[in-house]
Amino acid sequence: MADSKVVLITGASSGIGHATALRLAGQGHHVVLGARRTDRLTALAEAIRDAGGSADTHRLDVTDPKIVATFVDTAVDRHGRIDVIINNAGVGPLSRLDSLLTDEWNQTIDVNIRGLLHGIAAALPHFQRHGAGHFVTIASVGAHEVMPTGAVYCATKYAAWAITEGLRLELDPGIRVTTVSPGIVESEIADSITDPDTQEAIRAFRESPISADAIAAAISYAIGQPPDVDVNELIIRPAGQR
């Protein structure tokens, strides 16, 4: 494939990252898969290879900047360059603030904000050396509006939006920047909710999700544009989501 890219995906073991890996690999891109559940990554890479695609896997914890740097540097060593990093890894243990689940707040900040920054720090020098590259941030509808139980999660997604927009404004035009904001999407994200009342409310709220592949298709559209076309913002949600 003439425009085959080397695409790094954080959080590729389930949900949106998993679907994006399958779609992009199916289009002839080489995908580099990162997450903590390496058994899932191995199974995904095997499925991709069985279908004629190519993939590498790495154990990745985005909260550790050294591990993220190794994830990126290893891909550059192996392939000579990287073209796209999709900073997708995220957690969403929603709860009301008066639940005082401070460990979960900190984990959300560590993964959703620091993890994103670590991905940017690791990939930016390579993109600058190469004079090209593409950052894709998976934010959320929660980057645009706040809902009860989502104060911390939405704060991290507002931050992801702001960081990504700041990046766009600072960069040379050879490097493109896209923020993708999903609405309710089929994935494992709600499994991390520990607060029983919130679990109940979110189960009802998430009753009619769209497929993770709907987000993968949007990412594919953004990275498939010609080099002078920068798709900056996409919001994709169920047609019935209000």
Ligand X SMILES: NC(=O)c1ccc[n+]([C@@H]2O[C@H](COP(=O)([O-])OP(=O)(O)OC[C@H]3O[C@@H](n4cnc5c(N)ncnc54)[C@H](OP(=O)(O)O)[C@@H]3O)[C@@H](O)[C@H]2O)c1
List residues near ligand X by CB under 6 A: 10-17, 35-37, 60-63, 88-92, 111, 138, 140, 182, 184-185, 187-189
The structure tokens listed for 23 are 């779609």
Q: State the Cα–Cα distance between residues 179 and 57, nearest whole angstrom.
A: 24
The structure tokens listed for 208 are 């009619």
Q: State the Cα–Cα distance between residues 33 and 11, nearest whole angstrom.
A: 8
**DSSP annotation string for 57-92:** EEE--TT-HHHHHHHHHHHHHHHS---EEEE-----
Radius of gyration of the chain (CA): 17
**Residue (124 or 218) nearer to ligand X, CB:** 218
**Residue (4 or 211) nearer to ligand X, CB:** 211
* Cα dist from 189 to 61, 73, 116, whole Å: 16, 28, 17
**Residue (2 or 204) nearer to ligand X, CB:** 204
**Residue (165 or 174) nearer to ligand X, CB:** 165
Residue 1 Cβ vs ligand X, minimum distance, rounded to whole Å: 26
Residue 191 Cβ vs ligand X, minimum distance, rounded to whole Å: 7
Residue 199 Cβ vs ligand X, minimum distance, rounded to whole Å: 15
User: Given 71, 135, 153, 158, which residue is catalytic?
Assistant: 153
Q: State the Cα–Cα distance between residues 203 and 15, nearest whole angstrom.
A: 17
- Residue 153 is among the residues annotated as catalytic for this protein: yes
Selection from 223, 234, 229, 241 nearest residue 25 by Cα: 223
3-state helix, strand and coil shares in percent for the chain, rounded to the nearest 5:
50, 15, 35
User: What is the distance, to the nearest Å, from the Cα of residue 67 to the centroid of all Cα atoms in its chain?
Assistant: 17
**Residue (133 or 182) nearer to ligand X, CB:** 182
Instruction: Give me the active site residues, please.
Output: 153
